[in-house]
Structures are given as C-alpha cells and as structure tokens.
Amino acid sequence: MQLRNELVRVEADRTGTTIDNLKRAFLENLYYVQGKPPALATLNDYYMALAHTVRDRIMQRWNNSAITYTENQSRTVCYLSAEFLMGPHLGNNLINLGLYEPMKQAIDELGINFDELIEEEGEPGLGNGGLGRLAACYLDSLAALEIPTMGYGIRYEFGIFKQDIRDGWQVEITDKWLRNGNPWELARPEWTVSIPFGGHTESYRNSQGVYRARWVPAWEVKGVPYDTPTLGYKVNTANTLRLWKAEAPESFDFQAFNTGDYYGAVNAKVVSENITKVLYPNDDEIQGKVLRLQQQFFFVSCSLQDMIRIMKGQKIPMERFHEKFAVQLNDTHPAIAVAELMRLLVDQEFLGWDEAWAITQNTLAYTNHTLLPEALERWQIDLFRDLLPRHLEIIYEINQRFMDDVRVKFIDDDARLARMSLIDESGERYVRMANLACVGSHAINGVAALHSELLKQTVLKDFYEYSPEKFSNKTNGVTPRRFMVLSNPRLTQLITDRIGSGWITDLEQLRQLEQFIDDPAFCQQWRSIKQAIKQDLADSIQKDYGVDVSIDSIFDIQVKRIHEYKRQHLNLLHIITLYNRIKANPNIDITPRTFLFGGKAAPGYFMAKLMIKLVSAVSEVINRDPDVRGRIKVVFLKNYNVKFAQHVYPAADLSEQISTAGKEASGTGNMKFAMNGALTIGTLDGANVEIMEQAGEENFFLFGLTAEEVRERKARGYDPKAYYNANPNLQLVIDRIASGFFSHGDKTLFQPIVDNLMQSDPYLLFADYQSYVECQDRVAEAYRDQDKWTRMSILNAARMGMFSSDRSIQEYCDDIWNVKPVTVKETEGFCSATVCLL
Ligand SMILES: *Cc1c(COP(=O)(O)O)cnc(C)c1O
C-alpha cells in the first residue's frame, strides 16, 4: 500500500500534462534518454525525445489495464495475424490520449517544428496491404470499445520493402525499420517461450497405462515477445500488440564450439533468427516456402503458449480455455492453431481428445479474406511432415473423425468427401489450410456482404452446406481516428464545429451533416478544405517529382497493391482514351484531371511490375506533350504506405475501385476515400456494393459487369478479341501501346500486357472498357457543376457511418466472441496476484 501511494506520486510528478510539464519532460528525455544537448540534437533525437514523452504518458493506462484484466480474469480477444500494418504511432497515440494540441503547443513553444517531428517517424511496415491494415484498425477499435485484447503476430526485422522507381521500374529496398531503435515497444524476455521443429513422434504409456503421443523435435528456437501498447480513444484502455522475435536457444552451440566448429555454432544461431527476418511481400498469393510455414507455426505456438501461461498465472483451469480466450484467425496464415491448440491441450496438458476438440472449436474463429484460388493456402505433405510431424498426425486424426461425420451426413458422396478432406489427394498431396480452419472453428466469416455470399456459393460451399450456422458476414471497417481525425484535421474541425465530436466514436452521427447540404457557407467551407488539402498534396508532388498539378483538376486516385484483378491497367486504358481524344482534336473541351497511382508490386509478380512501368511510360508521354496543355497529368507516387496514405485519401475527388466484380473481398481503401469526401467510381465488388447502398446510387459512379455476369461470360467462353474488333476506341488504345508509342518505339516492352489482354484477358478489362469510359465521362460532366459535386461529396462522407471499424468490431464482439467491455479506471491498486500477466 505504501509502495502504491508512492507510485501514484511518482506518476503524477513525471507524467503531468500541462504545457510546462510537457516541455520539461521533452527536454529531460532529450537529455537523459537520447543523451543529447539541444546543440547536438538531430531531428531524430527530437522525435525520439517526443516519442518517449508520449510513451511515459501511456504507461499508467497500460499498467492499469494489465492490472484490471488480471484481477478480473477478463475474457480476452486474441487477434492472431501474420501482419499488422500499424502505421506511425506518435500522432495516433497523441490523438487517443487527447494530448495532440497541448503537445503541439509545448513543442512549438520550444521553437521546434512539431509537424516536422510527426513527419520524421518512419513506420513499422509489418504487413502487405489491406489485410494487415485491417488488423491494425481492429486493434484500434477494440481498445476504443474497451475490449480486453491481445494482438499476436510476428516482429519481422525487415517489413515490406521500400519501393523506389528508377527509369519507371519498381526497385525494392530493404526496410530497416529498427535502425534508429523503436521507442514504442518493450521487450519482455521473461516471457520467452520455446518452439520445437522437426524430428519425429513416439507413443508411450503413462502411469495409468493410457497411450499418449510424444513429439521428439530435432531443433527448437526461442520466441521473445515485444509489446506495443494500443490505446483506446480517450479511455484508459491500453491493450497490447505482442509480436514475437525468433532467437537461437543459446547464443552458441557449446558442443559445436568445443569441438571446434565455431562457424557451425554461429550458423545455427543465424538459421534460428532467420524465421522472423523478413515479411513475405506477396499480397493475395502464396509461394509454399518452408520458411513461411516456419513463421506461421512459430508465431501461433508462441501465442498459444503465452495464453496457457496467462491461464496458469491466473489459476484458471485449462478446461476453461475457451471461456478465457476468443481467438480470431486473420485468414489462414494462423490456421495451424487448430492443430497446435489440440497438441498443447492433449499432449502437454493431458486433456482427452474430445474435450480438447470442443475447447479448440469453441475458442477459434476464422475470417476468410479471398476468393482467388492462387491465394488459398496449402502445404505439401512432405514439407509439412518434415517440419511438424506431430501436427500432421493430429490433422489426420481430425480428418478421419471429420470424414466419418460428413460420410453419414451426405451419404454416398465421395466427390464431396474428397473436396472437404483436410488433405488434397487429387495429385501431389497437400494440407488444405482453409479446410483446417473451417473444421476447427465455431465461426467463419467473410469481409463484405457480397464476399460472404460468394464464399457460401463457391470456395466454402461444401462447408456451408455442412454447417451453415457457422457462417456470417462481418463487413470490414476502418478507424475514423487515424483516417479522419489524425489525417484530416481540417475536415475534423469543420465537422466538429457543426455536430460536436460524438461522431469520432459513433460514426453514424455523421448523418447529421446532411442537414447542411443546402447551407452555402458550409458547402463553401467543405470545398475550400478539399482544395487546401489538394494543394498540400500538389506541393509535395512538385517537390518530389517536379510535376505541376492543378488543384482545379479532378484528383483521380488509385492507390492500392498492384494486381491484375485490381485493374490499374483499366484505369490506364481510360487515360490513353482521353489522350487519344486530345490528339485527334487538340481543342477538345475536357475536364482537367490529375491521375495519381500508388502501390507496391510483389517482387516476383512480373505483370504487376510491368503495369507500374506502363503507368510511368504513359505519364512521361502525356505530361510533356504540348497538345495536352496540362489538362491531364499522370503521376506514379512511389512507396505507398500508411504514412503516405494519410496524406492521399483526404486529397481525392475520385476514388478508383475498379476490380473485376467477384474478385475483391472487401477493400478498405474505398471506405477511407469515401469518408473523406471522395466520390467513388467502382464496380459492384466487395464493400463497394454496401458503399453505394449507403451513399445512394445517385452519389456513386457505377459501371461494369456484376459478379454474376462475369461468371456467365466466362462460362460462355469469353473472347476479348470480339470487344477489340467491335470498338475502334479500344482498338486505338491497344494499338498505341503495342506500337511502341509509349516505349520509345519498342514494340516488345509492353507486349506481355497486350498479349495477355488480347488472348485471354482473365480480368475482363475489355468487357468493362466501354462501360468504364462512359462512366468516366459522367464523372467529368458532374465535376463541372461544383455545387452539385460538393453536395455529393458531403453526402458520401455523411453516410459512411457503417464503415467505422467500431461497427465491425461490435459485431464480432456480439456474434462471434461473446465478449463485453471492461472499464479501466484512471488509477488502480497493485495486483493482488503475484505477477501481472497481461
Ligand atoms: C487501406 C490500405 C490498403 C488497402 O487498400 P485497398 O484499396 O482496400 O486495397 C493498402 N495499403 C495501405 C497502406 C492502406 O492504408
């Protein structure tokens, strides 16, 4: 009690929040943590001092959350994801603490440019794109809703590569995000776990004579947790993102060292640490590499063992695992959890199979993220057995019981059994991770209404027919704290001036903005804010690319991973169409546009990289052609990441969401654009469907085939050449690319794209081309009536309430996790337990 009272005084003394407190703390951290007097401090030193000043003010919430959850033995959500694309922490933490403005004032009063410090922070690029960013938005909402949560993932030493563009081509640069140290994480080596790999299994009789299995692994690595706090918005909740780093069991293999094999000893260390060395940079594609399976098992086993440690620390019997934890699998990357939880419960905790299976199913839930066949994970049996022999046995056992159940439910249906088996035996044998995830979970969800329907009709049809009660939809969402409050302070201020600040945690309140659409002053303010944000982006484009763009042009933006199904090249076909119109008639009256692209291509994805080159090539020709007279500009913005995204989404007039219908599971970029007042041009794909429903058809630019029509076309035998032959404009576009017009006369450079479209066009660009161009003409026309455009922009933002990740998370809490908020008080006593465990 005495210690507690002393600590309360220490906390108050050290983490005050008056401007004077903040200034003093900043200078102390500069001097005593960074070890620099102002005269020698670099921008990074200032950033680090500021980060520590903020971190100090998080600590009390973080510790109090841990105490509260431990004392209450709170039911906890564990979000397992191989990727967390968190973005920069500093600004976001200040927003959540409610300290953004005072801190800005304090730093500015010290004569240091606060905004520069915010920009100085790099980002932990521990994800590829939408899936990893979703995990980050969900952690934000879970904390905002005061839900006890652990995020579990991998602390990659190198995150997603940094993208440079040289001569129009993507060049990948390793992302050394830890180079300057990471002020936001704390290592917790005391909770290191051991992860076995390889070897063989044995059976033995225990003291009661019962047969048991034992895994005798060939090697092991250590998993060391690194914790980052995730704050709720203006509440005391601070949850934990726990990322695992692989380390060698001993820094040297002493045996080898003593026998003189020094190199071999060090090499063993290198091999262990390789497991968490690098993020696989593929989005929606698998490679089947053993290191990737090692990563998956590594972080899943670390996380499940950590949960068991917490159970034991809180003295909760293992039979209640599913009552203590709700574990969500973000795609199949952590699906090995089904077998690993069974192994831990049966082999290590000695539960019976049936009881362990009930616990496993009740604990786990699975989110599917893709309908693309090339993204469905499967592992070669031999590779799997070499790494995880005991898990293969467990999977065989699960499968045998499962097949027996299917056999009686769907009598005499061998084809169905073969499709549903956890083992693909149609040729070379594979473990099917989606099937494993479905069988081992009590809930399965897709990420948008259309996607969840298509799952039931296609990739998971058999599982739906077998257990329809497991299936539901949970449409994705994004956090309004990062993607409005932090990234769009001007719009935030305008909205708050009109309707108060309740919308920040209850986004449906944005609907109140509808009452102002006939208020000319409000519309004028809305419009001038958009123009000011466009000017900021224009300035940075001028600075970084030397290209002048006019803020009176439509900012027409497509930023997302580069992928054929996302159809960045369809966007290009439209751009070239406009260009051809100008060349045919240089005085044509066209609405000026600035086309902005951004996104990374997987390093091994040849077509995606060639698409980037084509954007660059087209931009070079168009930007310097005097006939264009600046009416069209095209810029490829390099190294698209969260930090840059925060500058881009608010600046858009038009959001390009043009994937082939039925291919994009949800999309979340579409939501970030729309809530910042961009209008969408899009297909009926993923969450676009719901965005249009919410915004109203009259406020959405819809084009293209539906998913149903795409399926029909393909079934009938789709012939892209027929479209080419029938459409002279399309013909001219393709011929221009093929002729070498955009490649200094080189006819071969873009031939792979041309051939792919002419011969198969798997993503039906040609089928959607005419509809897309006509729709773009409607966009151009609509933009000419600025008052009408502004009203549409306001209505879009006002009606995006359902796309807050708070809504998504509330649905997961109610329908899947059955978990309730736990309020953390501002001050807490010490833990009565011997150790605080969360
Ligand atoms: C939102 C986001 C994505 C996902 O974009 P989509 O358009 O939904 O594919 C990818 N990368 C970053 C950095 C994002 O912020």
Specify whether 672 is catalytic: yes
What pLDDT, in 10s, does the model give residues 422-472? 999 999 999 999 999 999 999 999 999 999 999 999 999 999 999 999 999
Residue 641, CA distances (Å) to 535, 582, 607, 657 in order? 20, 34, 21, 18
3-state secondary structure of 423: strand
What pLDDT, in 10s, does the model give residues 68-108? 999 999 999 999 999 999 999 999 999 999 999 999 999 99
- What is the Cα–Cα distance from 424 to 399, expressed in whole angstroms? 11
* Ligand 1 nearest atom to the CA of residue 640, by list position: 13
Specify whether 391 is catalytic: no
Is 689 a member of any domain? yes
Is 583 a member of any domain? yes
List all residues 6 or more positions away from 270 whose beta carbon is below 8 Å from its beta carbon: none
Token readout for 630 is: 């600046």
Token readout for 503 is: 């919308």
DSSP β-bridge partners for residue 633: 594
- What is the Cα–Cα distance from 49 to 30, expressed in whole angstroms? 5
DSSP state of 659: P
* Ligand 1 nearest atom to the CA of residue 657, by list position: 7
642 lines ligand 1 (CB under 6 A): yes
Angle between helices 389-409 and 433-440 (to 10 degrees): 70
3-state secondary structure of 158: strand
641 lines ligand 1 (CB under 6 A): yes
Q: Please tell me the predicted confidence (pLDDT) of residue 679.
A: 98
3-state secondary structure of 192: coil
> Is the domain of 464 the same as that of 600?
no
Reply yes or no on whether the pLDDT at 283 is more than 90.
no
Token readout for 437 is: 């995830």
The mean pLDDT value of the chain amounts to 96
* Ligand 1 nearest atom to the CA of residue 649, by list position: 15
Catalytic residue among 322, 474, 566, 631: 566
Ligand 1, atom 15, lies closest to the CA of 642
Q: Amino acid identity of 43?
A: L
- What is the Cα–Cα distance from 776 to 703, expressed in whole angstroms? 9
List all residues 6 or more positions away from 516 whose beta carbon is below 8 Å from its beta carbon: 498, 522, 523, 794
Is 492 a member of any domain? no
Is 573 a member of any domain? yes
Specify whether 561 is catalytic: yes
What pLDDT, in 10s, does the model give residues 615-625? 999 999 999 99
Q: Please tell me the predicted confidence (pLDDT) of residue 260.
A: 75
Cβ atoms of 432 and 418 within 8 Å: the answer is no
pTM of the model: 0.97
Reply yes or no on whether the pLDDT at 734 is more than 70.
yes
446 lines ligand 1 (CB under 6 A): no
> Is the domain of 457 the same as that of 318?
yes
Is 785 a member of any domain? yes
Reply yes or no on whether the pLDDT at 31 is more than 50.
yes
Catalytic residue among 560, 569, 609, 633: 560
* Ligand 1 nearest atom to the CA of residue 666, by list position: 8
Q: Please tell me the predicted confidence (pLDDT) of residue 829.
A: 53
127 lines ligand 1 (CB under 6 A): no
Ligand 1, atom 1, lies closest to the CA of 669
Mean pLDDT of 769-781: 98
Rounded distance from Cα 160 to ligand 1 centre (Å):
13
> Is the domain of 308 the same as that of 374?
yes
- Domain range holding 672? 518-707+766-805
Ligand 1, atom 8, lies closest to the CA of 667
Rounded distance from Cα 115 to ligand 1 centre (Å):
24
Beta strand pairing status for 186-187 and 219-231?
A: antiparallel
Q: Amino acid identity of 545?
A: Y
Q: Amino acid identity of 787?
A: D
262: confidence class by pLDDT, cuts 50, 70, 90: confident
> Is the domain of 470 the same as that of 531?
no
What pLDDT, in 10s, does the model give residues 380-390? 999 999 999 99
Ligand 1, atom 9, lies closest to the CA of 560
From the list 656, 707, 694, the residue with the least C-alpha distance to 475 is 694
- What is the Cα–Cα distance from 490 to 650, expressed in whole angstroms? 10
Q: Please tell me the predicted confidence (pLDDT) of residue 837.
A: 47
Residue 248, CA distances (Å) to 271, 291, 582 in order? 8, 16, 63
- What is the Cα–Cα distance from 789 to 346, expressed in whole angstroms? 62
669 lines ligand 1 (CB under 6 A): yes
Is 509 a member of any domain? no
Q: Please tell me the predicted confidence (pLDDT) of residue 285.
A: 85
What pLDDT, in 10s, does the model give residues 495-509? 999 999 999 999 999
Rounded distance from Cα 559 to ligand 1 centre (Å):
7
What pLDDT, in 10s, does the model give residues 104-138? 999 999 999 999 999 999 999 999 999 999 999 99
What pLDDT, in 10s, does the model give residues 644-694? 999 999 999 999 999 999 999 999 999 999 999 999 999 999 999 999 999
* Ligand 1 nearest atom to the CA of residue 483, by list position: 15
Mean pLDDT of 291-320: 98
Q: 568: domain CATH number? A: 3.40.50.2000
- What is the Cα–Cα distance from 716 to 161, expressed in whole angstroms? 41
Q: Please tell me the predicted confidence (pLDDT) of residue 834.
A: 46
Rounded distance from Cα 456 to ligand 1 centre (Å):
25
> Is the domain of 468 the same as that of 595?
no
In the numeric block, the tokens 């965005």 are attached to 691
From the list 231, 226, 240, the residue with the least C-alpha distance to 140 is 231
600 lines ligand 1 (CB under 6 A): no
Rg of the chain's alpha carbons, rounded to an integer? 28
E strand segments, 303-363: 325-330
DSSP state of 593: E
Token readout for 517 is: 């659409």
Specify whether 315 is catalytic: no
- What is the Cα–Cα distance from 781 to 775, expressed in whole angstroms? 10
Ligand 1, atom 5, lies closest to the CA of 669
- Four-CA torsion 146, 149, 153, 158, nearest 10 degrees: 30
What pLDDT, in 10s, does the model give residues 154-200? 999 999 999 999 999 999 999 999 999 999 999 999 999 999 999 99
Rounded distance from Cα 50 to ligand 1 centre (Å):
28
Q: Please tell me the predicted confidence (pLDDT) of residue 264.
A: 76
In the chain, the number of structural domains is 2
Catalytic residue among 276, 367, 668, 790: 668
Rounded distance from Cα 615 to ligand 1 centre (Å):
19
Reply yes or no on whether the pLDDT at 827 is more than 90.
no
- What is the Cα–Cα distance from 772 to 681, expressed in whole angstroms? 9
- Which residue among 84, 85, 487, 657 has the greatest number of ligand 1 atoms within 8 angstroms of its CB, and so is best to mutate? 85
Cβ atoms of 142 and 239 within 8 Å: the answer is yes
Mean pLDDT of 366-383: 94
Angle at 735 between CA 729 and CA 737, to 5 degrees: 110
Helices (runs of H) and strands (runs of E) counted in the chain: 34, 23
- What own/partner pairs with CB < 8 Å and gap ≥ 24 does 456-459 have? 458/371, 459/368, 459/371, 459/373, 459/376, 459/434
Cβ atoms of 297 and 340 within 8 Å: the answer is yes
Q: Please tell me the predicted confidence (pLDDT) of residue 836.
A: 47
What pLDDT, in 10s, does the model give residues 724-733? 999 999 999 9
> Is the domain of 531 the same as that of 401?
no
Is 95 a member of any domain? no
Reply yes or no on whether the pLDDT at 591 is more than 60.
yes
* Ligand 1 nearest atom to the CA of residue 599, by list position: 11
Specify whether 369 is catalytic: yes
In the numeric block, the tokens 């250590």 are attached to 222
Reply yes or no on whether the pLDDT at 317 is more than 70.
yes
> Is the domain of 204 the same as that of 282?
yes
> Is the domain of 470 the same as that of 553?
no
> Is the domain of 334 the same as that of 394?
yes
667 lines ligand 1 (CB under 6 A): yes
- What is the Cα–Cα distance from 401 to 421, expressed in whole angstroms? 11
Range name among 372-381, 709-718, 816-825 with the lowest pLDDT average: 372-381
Q: Please tell me the predicted confidence (pLDDT) of residue 200.
A: 98
- What is the Cα–Cα distance from 662 to 279, expressed in whole angstroms? 28
> Helical H runs in 468-565?
480, 489-499, 520-545
> Is the domain of 461 the same as that of 553?
no
Is 837 a member of any domain? no
DSSP β-bridge partners for residue 443: 365
> Is the domain of 150 the same as that of 214?
yes
334 lines ligand 1 (CB under 6 A): no
89 lines ligand 1 (CB under 6 A): no
> Is the domain of 459 the same as that of 578?
no
Catalytic residue among 672, 736, 791, 799: 672
Q: Amino acid identity of 312?
A: K
Catalytic residue among 369, 631, 736, 791: 369
Reply yes or no on whether the pLDDT at 152 is more than 80.
yes
Rounded distance from Cα 581 to ligand 1 centre (Å):
32
Beta strand pairing status for 443-446 and 471-473?
A: parallel
